[in-house]
Amino acid sequence: MKLKGLLVCILLLVGTTSAFAVDATLTVGEGFYTAGGTVTVPVVLKTNGNSISAVALDVEYDTTLLSNPVGTLGVAASTAKKGLYSNVLTPTGTAGKYRLLITGGMTEDAANPKGGTMTDVTTTGTSGLLTDGVVALVKFNVASTTTGSITVGSFVDASDPNANAVVVNGTVGGMTAGKVGDCNGSGSVSLSDLTYAINVVIKKPNFAFNNRCDINMSNGVWNPDGKTTLADVTTLINVIIKKPNWILP
């Protein structure tokens, strides 16, 4: 069952780019949901050689299907010492909107109760750059009556620090009924999924990659990278043996 309930409006704040640079992309990736449960979708940045230090996006969703969005930093953003700022905007009818800003975080202490040193400042005094990867994860509650699909669209805009227009492509993936880690599509995560993942890694015939088997985690944070590797096998092992802090979305 497809749930394509995301309309993404993306604003990238981009550093200096070459006239011949390939456009950067910001993609709201595929998520897996259970009616009455939750769904987590990754927001993935591909810089394509562009210097990007901050990203912002509006995620628009059908409030009859999805609710209570919560964003957290992805590995690519946390590694760059960014902070995440978010707000649920007032919906228009059933069209909800969740705004995310990922930029330098501000340290707060007794001397600077309203914010002091930026966390992502480099040795040259500039804001640190983001690299390719997951910059945010957005988790929604899914209505118990969720069925069917709705249309997905997107609007994209970008600028560099000098307010020059920069072409950036934004794409949106659908949401599919299922579970992250359920490689064989049985409806649950078990030892058979570990066997499936191993067979994908060794390229055994009839064991094809699918996005449910993209379960790589980094320091307890889901970090999908579009493939199944030994890292995904290790993740599944730790999930199955219930190792602390290894919990799939």
Determine the pLDDT at residue 121: 66
Give Cβ neighbours of residue 85 (< 8 Å, ≥ 6 apart). 100, 101, 102, 103
- The span from the CA of 168 to the CA of 170, in Å, is 7
Model confidence at 18, in pLDDT bands (50, 70, 90)?
A: very low
Question: pTM to 2 decimals?
Answer: 0.79
Delimiting residues of CATH 2.60.40.680 domain(s) in the chain: 2-177
Which whole number is the average pLDDT over 27-51?
84
Regarding the domain delimited by 2-177, which CATH topology (the fold level of the hierarchy) does it fall under? Immunoglobulin-like (2.60.40)
Question: Per-residue pLDDT tens for 97-145?
Answer: 888 888 876 655 566 555 556 666 665 555 678 889 999 999 989 888 7
Determine the pLDDT at residue 52: 81
Give Cβ neighbours of residue 94 (< 8 Å, ≥ 6 apart). 62, 63, 64
Contact between residue 171 and residue 152 where contact means Cβ atoms under 8 Å apart: no
Question: Per-residue pLDDT tens for 147-174?
Answer: 544 333 455 555 544 445 666 677 777 7
Q: Which is nearest to 122 in space by CA: 144, 104, 99?
A: 104
Distance of CA 131 to the CA centre of its chain: 14
